[in-house]
């Protein structure tokens, strides 16, 4: 097969591992910077050009679209879909996953456990917002933040009100969530491929840090999911329409709570923590569908 990996950085661990896995299974593979693709739209003849060359004879794509180029990256994926090319992440699912508020609404409708979340249109009644989220301490998140950036733990009601007011004055969209104390600064990342959990790790924030992101100095260890956690992770990925997903959950007294469903989950942390060849699972997923 001819597989194209849509990635803006050929040196990223995830991109390199996918290339290795595809070649190991005797496929032709090429890295395409989606930000440098040109899209040509005409009646029944969708075309993509890359560096002056027409991209054709493509069997499958693996989108690795960064959050900063979601709009254009999604347009490129959509164009490949119009060319009847299989994609491991569909364009509509990618759009859904990048909208944090929409994602939470979809997960809520699917009956999944979530931290209580409040979103308003810059409401001036900040005291009520804090109360609706369960009272201080609360987590305040920028809707556009990634990798733990723009996520704040606010310990007191007065501080929470001040932070919300400051964001409102800047016209910055935020959500306010309850703080799950029993999670202890840790979360779980379940890696889903084609309706199966192919790896799971527990990420622990460094001392004094409530965010468990590996980009922020957190550590990862392999974990065996409970039946309830595995069911929640699979249900979350299905609700979002994602064939490949990184489902982030908190362990709480009321069961697993979904934080986020990532449509371009990194491979480095999960492969190193679990010792599993996740990249190979992704290539096999393509083989089953093309």
Q: Same domain for 191 and 281?
A: yes
Q: Are strands 255-262 and 244-252 parallel, antiparallel or unpaired?
A: antiparallel
Instruction: Render pLDDT for 162-190 as a digit per residue (tens, 0 to 9).
Output: 999 999 999 999 999 999 999 988 999 99
Q: Which CATH number does the domain housing residue 149 bear?
A: 3.30.1490.20
The Cα 202–Cα 252 span in angstroms is: 14
- Which is nearest to 149 in space by CA: 76, 73, 68? 68
Three-class SS of residue 259?
strand
Helix residue ranges, H only, 55-189: 70-82, 91-98, 100-109, 126-132, 157-169
**Claim: this prediction has a pTM higher than 0.95:** no
Q: How many CB atoms lie within 10 A of CB 41?
A: 10
Instruction: Render pLDDT for 183-241 as a digit per residue (tens, 0 to 9).
Output: 988 999 999 999 999 999 999 877 655 565 665 557 889 999 999 999 999 999 999 99
What contacts 126, CB < 8 A, 6 or more positions away? 160, 161, 164, 165, 168
Count the alpha carbons within 13 Å of 15 in the hemisphere toward its beta carbon.
Answer: 17
Q: How many CB atoms lie within 10 A of CB 71?
A: 10
Q: Same domain for 274 and 229?
A: yes
Q: Same domain for 174 and 191?
A: no
Q: Same domain for 143 and 221?
A: no
Q: Which CATH number does the domain housing residue 279 bear?
A: 3.30.470.20
- Give the number of domains in the chain: 3
Q: Same domain for 173 and 189?
A: no
User: What residue numbers bound the domain in which 15 lies?
Assistant: 2-96
Residue 60 lies in a domain: yes
Q: Same domain for 154 and 228?
A: no
């Amino acid at each position: 097969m001819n597989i194209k990996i849509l990635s803006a950085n050929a040196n990223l661990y995830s991109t390199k591992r996918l290339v290795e896995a595809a070649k190991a299974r005797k496929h032709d593979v090429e890295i395409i910077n989606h930000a440098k693709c040109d899209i040509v739209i005409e009646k029944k003849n969708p075309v993509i050009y890359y560096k002056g060359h027409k991209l054709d004879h493509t069997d499958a794509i693996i989108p690795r679209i960064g959050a900063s180029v979601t709009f254009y990256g999604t347009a490129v994926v959509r164009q490949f879909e119009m060319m009847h090319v299989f994609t491991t992440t569909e364009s509509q699912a990618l759009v859904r996953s990048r909208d944090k508020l929409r994602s939470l609404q979809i997960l809520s409708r699917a009956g999944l456990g979530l931290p209580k979340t409040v979103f308003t249109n810059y409401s001036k009644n900040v005291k009520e917002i804090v109360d609706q989220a369960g009272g201080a301490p609360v987590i305040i998140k920028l809707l556009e933040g990634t990798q733990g950036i723009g996520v704040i733990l606010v310990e007191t009601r007065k501080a929470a009100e001040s932070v919300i007011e400051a964001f409102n004055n800047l016209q910055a969209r935020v959500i306010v969530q309850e703080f799950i104390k029993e999670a202890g600064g840790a979360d779980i990342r379940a890696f889903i491929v084609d309706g199966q959990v192919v790896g799971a790790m527990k990420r622990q924030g460094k001392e004094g840090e409530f965010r468990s992101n590996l980009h922020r100095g957190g550590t990862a260890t392999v974990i065996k999911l409970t039946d309830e956690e595995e069911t929640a992770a699979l249900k979350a990925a299905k609700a979002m329409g994602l064939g490949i997903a990184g489902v982030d959950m908190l362990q709480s007294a009321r069961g697993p709570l979904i934080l986020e469903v990532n449509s371009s989950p990194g491979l480095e942390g999960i492969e190193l923590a679990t010792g599993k060849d996740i990249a190979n699972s992704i290539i096999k997923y393509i083989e089953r569908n093309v």
